[in-house]
């Protein structure tokens, strides 16, 4: 039934599914080691600002839902996302996420020095760059002067769960193997696996997941309905389709359709 509606049953979710990733990693005991292994640093403390935070640059801008938005003791920002659908525009998507985070942090009148160090981290189950590396780290550097960094404190990292190349820690290899295959090979991956199973059997989490999926499905259906209506309106306007037929296809009266199109004037 759930698959017919376009989403997985909760029993089939893995840590690479958006909901499961956010549900498990909202517990900073699981998230903190993940960040430490990816970045190869020690973090004293992190705080989850808001799970699945929705951010927009402005009233008319494109909104994004941030899976995990956290800060550490130095007020460094970490945004962590999972990506299981191949997207050719992944680099620009990361650029947009970075810009939204910056504008969210910097208030009108603030000095640019108030911009914080930030990491946008995408965990992919495919290799977006085709180099077969475990991890790709990007920062702004000068082409003409090797080793000269812009120093804007903005970093973008892609973790490739299908990668096999590059020197990484044993701990990060354990993470990548679990994310990619679900195989438990150590204490941390066992901890993650137990957390995933706990979410699947928790009635509150099951209800939360179903509610979220139904909401997302309704949004998609509304978007499809709006696109269909716009197409029919254009066909009527250009004379390719009578208003009565467009109204029938939208399951409304011709008068309702004409009101929708702005062509109906009440007498």
Report the SS3 class of residue 80: strand
Residues 245, 135 share a domain: no
**For residue 4, what pLDDT is reported?**
38
Domain carrying residue 240: 214-261
Residues 182, 223 share a domain: no
Count structural domains, the chain.
2
Residues 244, 125 share a domain: no
Kindly state whether residue 95 falls inside one of the protein's structural domains: yes
**For residue 59, what pLDDT is reported?**
32
Residues 54, 33 share a domain: yes
Residues 115, 22 share a domain: yes
Q: What is the pLDDT of residues 26-61, one digit of tens each?
A: 999 999 999 999 999 999 888 887 644 544 444 333
**For residue 140, what pLDDT is reported?**
94
CA distances from 163 to 13, 18, 123, 173, 174 (A): 22, 21, 11, 10, 12
Two tokens at 119? 């990491």
**For residue 65, what pLDDT is reported?**
52
**For residue 170, what pLDDT is reported?**
96
pLDDT at 246 over 50: yes
Q: What is the pLDDT of residues 73-123, one digit of tens each?
A: 888 899 999 988 877 789 999 999 998 888 888 888 888 888 889 999 999
Query: What mean pLDDT is reported for the chain?
Result: 84
**For residue 54, what pLDDT is reported?**
46
In contact, 212 and 19? CB cutoff 8 Å: yes
Task: Name the nearest CA neighbour of 153 among 135, 139, 137.
Answer: 139
Q: Which residue has the tokens 């977006």?
A: 128
**For residue 40, what pLDDT is reported?**
93
Kindly state whether residue 249 falls inside one of the protein's structural domains: yes
Average pLDDT, stretch 242-257? 84
pTM assigned to the model: 0.75
Q: What is the pLDDT of residues 124-165, one digit of tens each?
A: 999 999 999 999 999 999 999 999 999 999 999 999 999 999
Residues in the chain: 267
**For residue 263, what pLDDT is reported?**
56
Residues 138, 255 share a domain: no
**For residue 174, what pLDDT is reported?**
97
Pick the residue with more confidence: 219 or 196? Answer: 196
User: Which of 38-42, 87-91, 247-251, 260-264 is least confident?
Assistant: 260-264
Q: Are strands 135-138 and 154-160 parallel, antiparallel or unpaired?
A: antiparallel
Out of 201, 224, 243, a domain closes at 201
Kindly state whether residue 251 falls inside one of the protein's structural domains: yes
């Amino acid at each position: 039934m759930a698959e017919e509606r376009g989403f997985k049953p909760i029993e089939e979710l893995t840590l690479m599914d958006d909901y499961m990733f956010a549900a498990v990693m909202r517990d900073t005991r699981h998230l903190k080691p993940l960040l430490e292994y990816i970045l190869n640093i020690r973090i004293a403390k992190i705080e989850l600002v808001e799970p699945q935070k929705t951010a927009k640059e402005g009233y008319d801008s494109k909104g994004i839902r941030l899976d995990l938005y956290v800060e550490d003791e130095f007020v460094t920002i970490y945004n962590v996302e999972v990506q299981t659908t191949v997207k050719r525009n992944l680099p620009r998507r990361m650029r947009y996420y970075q810009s939204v985070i910056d504008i969210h942090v910097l208030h009108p009148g603030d000095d640019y020095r108030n911009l914080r160090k930030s990491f946008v981290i995408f965990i992919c189950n495919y290799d977006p760059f085709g180099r077969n590396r475990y991890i790709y780290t990007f920062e702004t550097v000068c082409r003409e002067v090797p080793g000269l960094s812009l120093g804007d404190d903005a970093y973008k990292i892609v973790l490739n769960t299908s990668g096999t190349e590059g020197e990484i820690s044993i701990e990060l290899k354990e993470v990548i193997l679990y994310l990619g295959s679900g195989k438990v090979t150590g204490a941390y991956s066992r901890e993650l696996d137990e957390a995933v199973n706990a979410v699947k059997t928790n009635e509150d989490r099951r209800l939360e997941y179903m509610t979220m999926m139904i909401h997302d499905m309704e949004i998609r259906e509304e978007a499809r309905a709006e696109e269909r209506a716009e197409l029919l309106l254009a066909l009527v306007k250009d004379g390719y389709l009578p208003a009565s037929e467009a109204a029938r296809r939208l399951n409304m009266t011709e008068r309702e359709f004409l009101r929708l199109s702005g062509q109906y004037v009440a007498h």
